[in-house]
Structure 1
Amino acid sequence: MRKSRSSTIQQFIKAPDQKENNKNTELSPEDLELGKLSDNEFRAAIIKKLNEVARKIEKQAEFWSYFTKEIEIIKKNQTELLEMKNTMDQIKQNTDSLNARVDNLEEQISIIEDRQAEWRQTEEERELRIKKNEENLREIMDSMRSKNIRIIGIPENMEKENGAESVLNEIIEENFPNLGINGEMCVEEGFRSSRFVSVKKPTGRHIIVKLANRNDKERILREVRKKKTIPIKEPLSDYQPISLQKPYKLGENGVIYSKL
């Protein structure tokens, strides 16, 4: 009976060890003690053993449950880390793209600023050229006008036969004969200041007489200033004889006005 029980205990207890290690086939002292127990004691020992095994299994189950949860957490963290890595890679790509666009925009802005600087310089040069041209034109006009004498108040067609310059010549001959001695006084041209006659204006168009020398103009004006008024004794032509009684006076800028 005891021998049979010992072999049963040996099969029950030692079978797992024999699967792992076939070399150790001897019974331990604890196993031998079990073989000496009575049936009730043996049952109690077996129940105790089974309870210990159950507790170990329960602890192992708890450990594996905790371990499994930790593994799931680690896997979840790995997944999150992978997603974060992908997100960071995408952000990096977007950042690189934005940086490239910013660089491109900065380059375009630099080109535009360079063009604006060129345009500004060109505009300044153009303004300087315009200003210089205006000054040159003003100098030319002043030079041209500095030789001109304007005569106002002469009726139309009075200079028809001999031209507009004859009006100044007749004024000089009658009032300042010494100015034109020996042909020293030279008149380049004379003309009315407007091409068309206005029937609405009672007075004739102005006569512009251009002298060859500015000094001649100054000589005439000096003599006019001395006399202040210039009476016309003889008719300039057969037209408008009433106007011949009008003396003339000197105005600004070399203008000789008819005094009513």
Structure 2
Amino acid sequence: MTENPAPTASPAAPSSASLWREVVEIVRTVAIALGVALALRIVLFQPFTIPSSSMEPGLVTGDYIVVSKLAYGWSRASFPLNPPLFQGRFLERQAQRGDVVVFRLPRDPSQTWIKRVIGLPGDHVQIRRGQVFVNGTALPQTAIGPTQDHDAPDRTVMQVGETTPNGRAYVTYDGGPGQPGDDTDVYVVPAGYYFVMGDNRDNSLDSRFSPSMGGVGLLPAENLVGRAKIVMLSWKPGASLLKPWTWLDLQWDRFFRVIR
């Protein structure tokens, strides 16, 4: 007489409680990761993509840059959606002449723009025949030679080296004499404001132009997001996340460029 084999135990199905704990753990891990990423973005660094050619030749359309939020302290502009948390800046540090800054546009804070600081609080700024004067002294300029506009190759511009009083040197584009913004009144920069300009001087709506003209006007310090530090990588104009076939249309020669 043979004995019937003992029944084998089937593996226990995971209980609904253990499944729930696993789901909660996953959600908690994702929430912590997102919280850390958001905190780093608010406190330390934030990426931006250059959407226009107003800062050529140093920055061109498609550059993906990193902005330091440590540079000037923090204001409501440092936070996503510009919430009305407080006025002014916490641990404020003044921007310096020649800094390339990202800021919230005063007339529309939902937009972030990028320009170069030319005038500090208390400065008198004027442009005469395309040359910038700060407190009555011209910023030294050196003609480098003609070139084709990076984003508009059919446009010929003059490359002009410019140096700020504190020794910051960079290259601008000049589209020729008689352009809008080549001759201005004297702007007196009040406390808590900056005078900013684009390096592509004849293709930039900046502090030379009032908000009613589409420009920046004088820039409040509390609108600063941070200082542009480096170009991490760069896409050719026309590339888009919505067009997968353009994802590798990269401008390789622009990778890891320090922004001057």
Normalising by structure 1, what TM-score?
Answer: 0.27
Normalising by structure 2, what TM-score?
Answer: 0.27
Indicate the structure (1 or 2) with the bigger Cα radius of gyration: 1
Q: RCO (CA 8 Å, sep 6+): is it higher in 1 or 2?
A: 2
